[in-house]
Amino acid sequence: MKSLDRQSLEEQTRLVSRYVAGDLSRSERAEFEAWLVASPALANEVEMERRLRRGIASAARRGWLNRSSTRSVMRERRWHVAIAASLIMVLAVGWVMVSPRADHPQTAESRAPAKHAPLVASRTVQLASFRGAGGAPDIELSRASAPGELVLQPEAVVLTCEDGSMEFECPGGGARTTPQYPEYEADVVDRARAALVWRSPRQMPVAGTQLSFALREPGALQPGDYDILVRGHATDHEEIVARFVLRITQ
């Protein structure tokens, strides 16, 4: 435990949310709990963090949270990004027009009309194990503005002890560090036709990193709802460990 100064207490206060979510490492948790004992103010923060989590979930369950207004902020932000992008584009076009033309074959080649390419090369989506309430899709893409690649990062790996058990503490007092399955893969299934449209290569989970599946050209998918199924594979069986919904719109 560091010295009991105000700055250290503020550092710990920043950890409150992770503590309540159970995301602190052993050493972080031990230090945080020592601070909890020393500081009733920190205990109040933890109490309020729990109330906040519980209250938001309860308000959402009751349909009291208007999520459309939060979307408007995203739209507003997108507008800002769009205006900035337009300015950059105008400047770039202006520069191309005023810059001297070169008849060098390589330059000419670079000015040849490019093939149609998506506006965004890649988009990464982290899919939390705790999904939003209300039945909304986890990812929504329009075909017109779909990225060239959609990288899915689901939180789907459960850690166990080496013997596969899920005790609080593993034999010897260690933490759970072994992924439940040695390999994982993701499927995209068209809901309407109940047909598999894409399957990722299998990948081995790596400690400290999330699974990552890259779906190329999601804009090529037909409009509709798709299930993203994350499957864990063992030698003798397999299991769907997470399911998310992808919506493609026109």
The footprint of other proteins (CB under 8 A) covers: 1, 3-4, 9, 13-14, 16-17, 19-20, 22, 30-31, 33-62, 64-65, 67, 69-70, 72-74, 76-77, 126, 128-133, 165-166, 168-169
State in angstroms the smallest separation of the CB of 190 from other proteins: 25
State in angstroms the smallest separation of the CB of 160 from other proteins: 11
CB 146 within 8 A of CB 173: no
| CB nearer to other proteins: pick between 51 and 193 | 51
Give the N- to C-terminal CA distance of the chain in Å, as an integer. Answer: 56
State in angstroms the smallest separation of the CB of 55 from other proteins: 3
| CB nearer to other proteins: pick between 92 and 166 | 166
State in angstroms the smallest separation of the CB of 110 from other proteins: 32
Q: What are residue 122's DSSP bridge partners?
A: 149
Sign of CA dihedral 105, 111, 117, 123: positive
State in angstroms the smallest separation of the CB of 100 from other proteins: 38
| CB nearer to other proteins: pick between 66 and 106 | 66
Amino acid of residue 211: L
Query: How far, rounded to the nearest angstrom, does the alpha carbon of residue 240 sit from its chain's CA centroid?
Result: 19
What number of CA atoms fall less than 13 Å from residue 80's CA on the CB side?
5
Q: How far apart are CA 199 and CA 217, in angstroms?
A: 13
Q: How far apart are CA 170 and CA 184, in angstroms?
A: 24
Q: What is the DSSP string of 85-109?
A: HHHHHHHHHHHHHHSPP---HHHHH
| CB nearer to other proteins: pick between 57 and 89 | 57
